[in-house]
Chains A and B, each alone.
Chain A
């Protein structure tokens, strides 16, 4: 199985800060990488698919980059409503594993 290593596991930042999360795959997954946002008690939401494509309706402050084994997720200007846990997920080969998550808090 492909292992996804996400870092950091938790992050505290101020409103309007630039926030970056990284995700590393244990083998080359091309661009088959998604990013999700999950708020407590809510359904997870797809933010970025195919490493860098913004899902329809998602604010442009969210972005993704990378290919192969190394990927980055960025919030350009953190907003209070962005408090959530963020997950990467590979879908190159099943099982389509998730990273362990990054818990984002406001400082």
Chain B
């Protein structure tokens, strides 16, 4: 059974940094693209970033480009999101999600999702 468990959320001041983690199990982690999606309070889903399985190619939403960095450690079956220069509008529940197809690259539906971790940016 696929399991994705996010951690690392919390309260941070504007301008601060936070690193989210997503521990994966139940599948061959290195074969699948992984994505971060967020949902601000009362808002819809917003795609944040993606990383491919083996080559590590990445892409980002314009709103986080230059501030957030997605990475993965295939030896630890873990996905990361390093968030710097945080702003109030980064406040959201952050979900990690697994691509649907092995070796598909970043262009892939999101077939499994974690429960999310809440990031609150406030002074």
Contact = CB atoms under 8 A, between A and B. Distances in A.
A43 B113 CA distance: 6
A43 B110 contact: no
B44 A97 contact: no
B53 interface: no
Contacts of A99: 44
B45 A44 contact: yes
A32 B59 contact: no
Given A43-B95, A95-B60, A34 B45 contact: no
A99 B108 CA distance: 17
B15 to A, nearest CB: 24
Nearest to B99: A91
A87 B44 contact: yes
Q: How large is the interface on B (under 10, 10 to 19, 20 to 34, 35 or more residues)?
A: 20 to 34
B54 interface: no
Residue among B59, B62, B109, B116 with most chain A CB within 10 A:
B109
B114 A36 contact: no
Contacts, number: 64
A46 B110 contact: yes
B113 A45 contact: yes
B10 to A, nearest CB: 19
Given A44-B95, A49-B100, A38 B45 contact: yes
Nearest to B96: A43
A55 B30 CA distance: 22
A85 B44 contact: yes
B25 interface: no
A69 B13 CA distance: 41
Contacts of A55: 109, 111
What 3 A-B pairs are tightest by C-beta distance, nearest first? A43-B113, A94-B59, A49-B109
Given A50-B109, A55-B109, A85-B44, 19 more contacts: A1-B62, A34-B110, A43-B95, A43-B113, A44-B113, A46-B100, A46-B109, A46-B110, A87-B45, A89-B109, A89-B110, A91-B107, A94-B59, A94-B106, A97-B47, A98-B37, A98-B44, A98-B45, A101-B45
